[in-house]
């Protein structure tokens, strides 16, 4: 694929960040949205992100050149010449259908249409065009201009040439592209969901308090704790994702009661001023633990002895299930999780450190006690039966 202009359709938070990522790679980009207000808001976001990069060391001269590569429009005809169009509109099927159909009608027949969806099936979205062989998932992580990982997800009808071209495009952006076969929540968010849910189950079971668990996982392998992350992303968003995964995967993705309860109480995290933590209304910074949580979950372990490994066993198990389904190459799994989530070690590395036989033994004990969310993956069993100490 010869790159001339890249179109980014949708000037929201993610679309603006993707447009900046493209410009920072010295490619011209056109940012499109439905009206001038949306486009203006997108440009304001981009200028704030550029200012932040300048504060961190980007020269004013380079910043000015990169900003000049970004054009805007509300007319689809202005992006008809683009080599690739990246759709970044809300995760609602009717909106996706309208946008993808419009792009298909106006883009050059050789142009690739990429979707940044984090949940909708690529094969279904591709049907909204007459070029399903040219439609592919291109899932960036937020903020897209900083995060290195990009998941590349072909649909059933996506040509291999399209996959190769998009992988090369992602590398041009300075990203780590990982090919992921189509499945609900793809790779990183699927594994993340198991760990995030388990943190809530541990809280419900009184195995630790909010700060204990956040601190333990940060000391172990994560850059930020699960409750801090939930508050940042919004508990309502977390609940929607948890329900979706439960619908797609069944009981091992059961939705923790505490999440339902907190959303019903409008404890949504930073945006409502109260989640697992409370937040200063002006600075939005943490101002302590939500004092009303005691009514929702057990008092917990006050001395902070929660074992962080417990929270990662479901993630490790899900990693083996993903490999069993050939969702990605074994050698890509840990790099994807490290680049996408900032983990210092990926789940396969953690499993090797813990011992595959030890992981299996713990999962079997927890399965006997808690049921389906700990049912050991058959592939993990096979590795243990074969005497393997690690996967790769």
The residue extents of the domains of the chain are 6-179, 187-392
Q: Can you tell me the distance from the alpha carbon of 301 to that of 387, in angstroms, rounded to the nearest whole number?
A: 36
- Residue 391 near residue 348 (C-beta atoms within 8 A): yes
Single pTM value for the model: 0.95
Strand partners, 7: 30, 85
- Average pLDDT in the chain: 96
Instruction: Name the catalytic one among 106, 139, 145, 383.
Output: 139
CB within 8 A of 193, min separation 6: which ones? 185, 241, 242, 245, 253
Q: Can you tell me the distance from the alpha carbon of 282 to that of 158, in angstroms, rounded to the nearest whole number?
A: 48
Class of domain 187-392: mainly alpha
386 pLDDT band, cuts 50/70/90, is very high
128 pLDDT band, cuts 50/70/90, is very high
Two structure tokens written together for 199: 């943190």
pLDDT at 158: 98
Whether residue 274 has pLDDT greater than 80:
yes
Q: What is the CATH number of domain 6-179?
A: 3.40.50.720
Torsional sign, CA 348, 352, 354, 359: positive
Task: Compute how many other C-beta atoms are within 10 angstroms of the C-beta atom of residue 202.
Answer: 24
pLDDT at 305: 67
pLDDT at 301: 41
Q: Can you tell me the distance from the alpha carbon of 27 to that of 12, in angstroms, rounded to the nearest whole number?
A: 20
pLDDT at 119: 86
CA 82 distance to own-chain centroid: 26
With residue 28 as reference, give the H or E element that holds it. none
pLDDT at 294: 85
Mark out the alpha helices in 221-329 (DSSP H runs): 226-233, 235-249, 257-264, 308-324
More confident residue, 296 or 115: 115
**Is 139 one of the annotated active-site residues of the chain?**
yes
More confident residue, 295 or 388: 388
Which of 352, 350, 355, 357 lies closest to 315 in space, CA to CA? 350
Whether residue 283 has pLDDT greater than 50:
yes
Q: What is the pLDDT of residues 300-312, one digit of tens each?
A: 444 556 889 999 9
- Residue 346 near residue 330 (C-beta atoms within 8 A): no
- Which of 198-207, 304-313, 334-343 ranks highest by mean pLDDT? 334-343
pLDDT at 197: 98
CB within 8 A of 252, min separation 6: which ones? 194, 314, 318, 372, 373, 374, 375
DSSP 8-state assignment for residue 254: P
pLDDT at 287: 95
- The mean per-residue pLDDT over the stretch 220-240 comes to 97
Q: What is the pLDDT of residues 154-176, one digit of tens each?
A: 999 999 999 999 999 999 999 99
Whether residue 299 has pLDDT greater than 60:
no
- The mean per-residue pLDDT over the stretch 138-162 comes to 97
């Amino acid at each position: 694929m010869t790159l001339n202009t890249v179109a980014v359709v949708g000037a929201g938070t993610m679309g603006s960040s993707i447009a900046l990522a493209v410009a920072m790679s010295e490619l011209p980009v056109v940012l499109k949205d439905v009206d001038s207000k949306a486009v203006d808001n997108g440009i304001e976001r981009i200028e704030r992100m550029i200012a932040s990069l300048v504060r961190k060391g980007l020269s004013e001269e380079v910043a000015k050149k990169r900003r000049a590569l970004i054009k805007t429009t509300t007319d689809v005809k202005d992006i008809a010449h683009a080599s690739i169009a990246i759709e970044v509109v809300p995760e609602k099927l009717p909106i996706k259908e309208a946008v993808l159909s419009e792009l298909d009608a106006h883009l050059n027949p050789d142009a690739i249409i990429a979707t940044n969806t984090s949940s909708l099936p690529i094969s279904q979205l591709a049907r909204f065009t007459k070029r399903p062989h040219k439609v592919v998932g291109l899932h960036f992580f937020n903020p897209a201009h900083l995060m290195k990982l990009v998941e590349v997800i072909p649909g059933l009808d996506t040509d291999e040439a399209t996959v190769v071209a998009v992988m090369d495009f992602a590398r041009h952006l300075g990203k780590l592209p990982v090919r992921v076969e189509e499945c609900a929540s793809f790779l990183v968010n699927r594994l993340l969901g198991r760990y995030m849910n388990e943190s809530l189950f541990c809280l419900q079971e009184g195995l630790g308090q909010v700060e204990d668990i956040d601190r333990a996982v940060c000391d172990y392998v994560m850059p930020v704790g699960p409750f801090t992350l939930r508050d940042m992303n919004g508990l309502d968003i977390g609940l929607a994702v948890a329900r979706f995964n439960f619908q797609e995967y069944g009981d091992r993705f059961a939705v923790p009661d505490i999440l339902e309860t907190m959303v019903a109480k409008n404890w949504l995290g930073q945006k409502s001023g109260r989640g697992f933590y409370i937040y200063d209304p002006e600075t939005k910074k943490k101002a302590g633990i939500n004092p009303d949580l005691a009514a929702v979950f057990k008092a917990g372990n006050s001395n902070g002895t929660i074992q962080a490994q417990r929270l990662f066993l479901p993630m490790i198990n899900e990693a083996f299930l993903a490999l069993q389904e050939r969702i990605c190459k074994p050698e890509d799994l840990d790099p994807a999780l490290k680049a996408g989530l900032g983990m210092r070690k990926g789940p396969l590395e953690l499993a090797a450190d813990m011992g595959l036989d030890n992981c299996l033994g713990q999962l079997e004990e927890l399965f006997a006690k808690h049921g389906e969310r700990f049912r050991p993956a058959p592939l993990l069993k096979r590795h243990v039966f074969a005497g393997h100490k690690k996967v790769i």
